[in-house]
Structure 1
Amino acid sequence: MNDGGPLEDMTLVVGRAAAGDPEAWNEIVRRYSGRVWAVCRVHRLGPADAADVFQQTWLRALENLDSLRDPAKFGAWIGTTCRNESLAVLRRARRAQPVDDSWLDDRPGDAADDPVSSFLAADRDAELWQAFRRLSRRCRDVLRVLVVEADGGRPSYELAAAALGMPIGSLGPTRGRCLAQLRRFLTEGIRETGDDS
């Protein structure tokens, strides 16, 4: 995942870190510390528990760095790992401390108030653009003109055909094939991410 700016591919960074390069490890921590803290905040951990989960998450990352199936998806992996560590801390706390119904009053009632939504949206967008970059140049151009840059959300097939040098009649079927391929790439990514956690 690229968190902004032209950064080195995560596969290379993770490979270098797994080989013992401290600069690569520092780069990974720099890129993803914010995400780890965000997951801790979403789970409403106290400062001490959040610090423990933060450290435990990075320890798990260090232990598993050389065995990740898809280092390019390190961001999703570290988020899932932190979530699992956070939930483990919360389970232990519930066993140790009984809670009454007033605890439910502190929970957000509206999905718009949910602090995790912006985090999940950013993660979803990053996965979408990563899958988009895997498409052929032709598919990227077609989807960019017909979907991403469509004026007011409604594409002009005449303008798109002229811009892409394609017959109008082939735009719809090509768009459909490209969207199906994009959906396939996203589904593969979700399956792989689920397998890694």
Structure 2
Amino acid sequence: MPSEKTLTGLDQAAWEELVTRFGGRMWAVARACGLGPADAADAVQGAWLRMVENLDGIRDPERVGAWLVTTTRHEAVRLARRSRGERPGPSALTDAVVPDPAASVVNADVGRRLWLLLDGLAEPCRSLLRLYALNPDAKYAQISMRLGLPIGSIGPTRSRCMSRLRALIEEDR
């Protein structure tokens, strides 16, 4: 049975796939800009809204993830400036979000290696650390339900898993 079309022209399954694939990364970008949970949620929501508004103008569907991350960063910087009472000048937003190309390459390489090392961990470490990385404000009750772990074991398990990951990082150096 075909799924219902949403107002954006994407079917529900496609929309859910986008949210699953890029939502955690968008959240991490917003939090990396120094936003609290509420403002980070606003930045991510603003980026999704910009996507819906510009859906007809998407020329390269393979670049949607990069577009969403960049748009989230723009939204986060705007919200951070607003919360500090700053008014951006004509080039303030662009200056704030233009990353150093060399740093971007290094960060991407480090990130890829870290995710590969994380994939080498056994369960529940792999899922637990992925969940923390993609949802830094997840509550123990949510993690418990998602992973089927007792609430009291989440902290100690996380600590052991981080130790294993640190050891893998040291071996990888």
Into which bin does the TM-score normalised by the smaller protein fall? 0.3 to 0.5
Instruction: Tell me which structure has the larger Cα radius of gyration.
Output: 1
Q: Normalised by the size of structure 2, how large is the TM-score?
A: 0.45
Higher RCO, Cα 8 Å, sep 6+:
1
Query: Could you say which structure has the higher helix fraction?
Result: 1
